[in-house]
Amino acid sequence: MALIAIIDYDMGNLRNVERALLFAGADAKIVRSPAEAAGAAGVVLPGVGNFHDAMRNLDRAGFTGFLRDWTAADKPFLGICLGLQMLFESSEEAPGVPGLGILKGECRKFVSETEKVPHMGWNTVSFSSKHPCFASFTKPEWFYFVHSFYVVPADDSVIAGRTDYICDFSCAVSRGNLAATQFHPEKSQENGLTILRGFSALCKGVSQS
């Protein structure tokens, strides 16, 4: 079975992600160093919290270079919530702090005088990507969100899903074997499990090729 490594850098709902992956039929384990991820077929980067703290913790654990190399080699990768935002170059949450820069673009803060921030709860997502994580969704589906910032890709071709809250925004991206979501698959019941099963199948396919 293709092992999926869940990156632990003290900023995520790791056990929930691990349980959801295992329930979806994947072979998953939490890793705290790049060495522990050796031999994995796929990598998951979850995350909740502050952009600056997350980038600092990733760097201290030695994961920044590892993730850039991993995605440059087009190995299966799934980012969740803050794990999506850190793929980009910068965030309004932490001016001057560089992100991973794997995708070009930035993260912006929701601004509204009428709607609550953070965006918290269930919302629909419309998908446009044939990535294995998203290909089975042929109509808008419900997913669970908790976030105050959203990504603005410089290249629209990476946008895999959109939702509407305060503004119409990109809530999922894909490029090659990389996928990432602003919503939480591990909290999104059957729709979330569909995404995790798709990622697990991708990891198995790549590991066997």
Per-residue model confidence as pLDDT tens for the chain (209 residues)? 699 999 999 997 799 999 999 999 999 999 999 999 999 999 999 999 999 999 999 999 999 999 999 999 999 999 999 999 999 999 999 999 999 999 999 999 999 999 999 999 999 999 999 999 999 999 999 999 999 999 999 999 999 999 999 999 999 999 999 999 999 999 999 999 999 999 999 999 987 76
What pLDDT, on a 0 to 100 scale, did the predictor assign at position 206? 86
- Distance, in Å, from the CA atom of 149 to the CA atom of 39, rounded to the nearest integer, reads 33
Alpha-carbon dihedral sign for residues 119, 152, 57, 206: positive
Q: CATH number for the domain including 69? A: 3.40.50.880
In the set 18, 93, 141, 186, the catalytic residue is 186
CA-angle at 20, arms to 159 and 36, nearest 5°: 85
- Are the beta carbons of 150 and 171 closer than 8 angstroms? yes
- Distance, in Å, from the CA atom of 178 to the CA atom of 131, rounded to the nearest integer, reads 8
What pLDDT, on a 0 to 100 scale, did the predictor assign at position 10? 93
What pLDDT, on a 0 to 100 scale, did the predictor assign at position 169? 98
Any catalytic annotation for residue 93? no
- Distance, in Å, from the CA atom of 91 to the CA atom of 88, rounded to the nearest integer, reads 8
In the set 119, 131, 147, 184, the catalytic residue is 184
Any catalytic annotation for residue 184? yes
- Distance, in Å, from the CA atom of 103 to the CA atom of 51, rounded to the nearest integer, reads 16
In the set 81, 107, 133, 171, the catalytic residue is 81
What pLDDT, on a 0 to 100 scale, did the predictor assign at position 92? 98
**Helix H segments across the chain?**
14-23, 51-60, 63-72, 82-85, 189-208
Domain with 7 in it = 3-208
Whether this prediction's pTM lies above 0.85 is answered by: yes
* CA nearest neighbour of 173 among 73, 71, 94, 98: 71
Any catalytic annotation for residue 186? yes
Count up the domains in the chain and report the number. Answer: 1
DSSP per-residue string spanning 155-190: SGGGEEEEEEESEEEEEEEEETTEEEESS-GGGSHH
